Amino acid sequence: MERYICVTCGTQFADSAEPPESCPICEDPRQYVPPSGQRWTTLAELAADHENEIRAEGDFTGIATSPSFAIGQRALLVPFGDSNILWDCITLLDDATAAQVERCGGLAGIAISHPHYYSCMVEWAEVFDCPVHLHAADAEWVMRPDPVIEHWDGEQLELGHGLTLIRGGGHFPGGTMLHWAEGAGALLSGDIIQVIPDRGHVSFMWSYPNLVPLPQSEIERVAGSVEPFEYEAIYGAWWDRLIPADGPEIVRRSAERYGAALRGELL
Ligand SMILES: [Zn+2]
Ligand SMILES: [Zn+2]
């Protein structure tokens, strides 16, 4: 038996003797199967020619795989008492990474923005003996069910130590962001509020690789979900996708611009 990993999205599947027939996450219009077709790997194969880069990213510690694998996101270690919450997840977990995360205080939990970053969440949770917090609205996208997964419902979940999970929706019905209340505050937004090249704006999409937008009602929902929170910085899902300050005004301004674009007012 093997736990196969989709090369395009990095998702690990439950034990099987043969590779799965297909990857539902990549066959969904919010991802894609490449023209060359579906390919599978395993954690051992991946570890043979990849490693994780771990370094400071703003107020947190980032972890991402090098060379880039699948969607290429970087996770963030967020302080949680004398331990950490892992915000978003990546596929590769090797001994060197586990040792370094342990030296930083280990993990008290894992929280993930949406199914594109579910990756190898169960492997991480087992190594660090911690739960994975996922929004229940996206439960159908879990490819390796396990008791470590704790689905939460509703609009917000307080994790403690100033951390709150916020359901934004948009890209996925359960699309989640993490608010960090320390200092000036920060919003860790995954793909739900997207940090884009112009750091004076953010954006919102239903499908990023396939460029399918969201309706006005969902833009208002996503922007409205973070309105009650105080923060300055917004951390996106890749290295250096970081807006250092003025986050709430940037989200408001961007939601207004998106609405204007949908109404044809930017033409
Ligand atoms: Zn996939
Ligand atoms: Zn995504």
pLDDT digits (tens, 9 = 90+) for 116-141: 999 999 999 999 999 999 999 999 99
% of the chain at pLDDT higher than 70? 100
- State the ligand closest to the CA atom of 28: 1
**CA torsion sign, 89 to 90 to 94 to 97?**
negative
- Taking all residues of the chain, what is their mean pLDDT, rounded to a whole number? 98
pLDDT of residue 225: 98
Please give the distance, rounded to the nearest whole angstrom, from the Cα atom of residue 103 to the centre of ligand 2: 30
Beta-carbon neighbours within 5 Å of ion ligand 2: 116, 191
CA–CA distance from 9 to each of 39, 209, 228, 233, 256 (Å)? 10, 12, 33, 27, 31
- The neighbouring-strand residues paired with 166 are 156, 177
Mean pLDDT of the 153-170 span: 98
Please give the distance, rounded to the nearest whole angstrom, from the Cα atom of residue 79 to the centre of ligand 1: 30
pLDDT of residue 133: 99
pLDDT of residue 259: 98
Q: Can you give the C-alpha Rg of the chain in angstroms? A: 18
Please give the distance, rounded to the nearest whole angstrom, from the Cα atom of residue 21 to the centre of ligand 1: 11
Helix (H, G, I), strand (E, B) or coil at 234: strand
Please give the distance, rounded to the nearest whole angstrom, from the Cα atom of residue 172 to the centre of ligand 2: 8
Please give the distance, rounded to the nearest whole angstrom, from the Cα atom of residue 247 to the centre of ligand 2: 21
Please give the distance, rounded to the nearest whole angstrom, from the Cα atom of residue 116 to the centre of ligand 2: 5
Please give the distance, rounded to the nearest whole angstrom, from the Cα atom of residue 71 to the centre of ligand 2: 9
pLDDT of residue 51: 98
pLDDT of residue 222: 98
pLDDT of residue 149: 98
- State the ligand closest to the CA atom of 25: 1
Please give the distance, rounded to the nearest whole angstrom, from the Cα atom of residue 50 to the centre of ligand 2: 22
180/188 Cα distance (integer angstroms): 8
Residue-wise pLDDT tens digits, 55-88: 999 999 999 999 999 999 999 999 999 999 999 9
Residue-wise pLDDT tens digits, 19-49: 999 999 999 999 999 999 999 999 999 999 9
pLDDT level of residue 235 (50, 70, 90 thresholds): very high
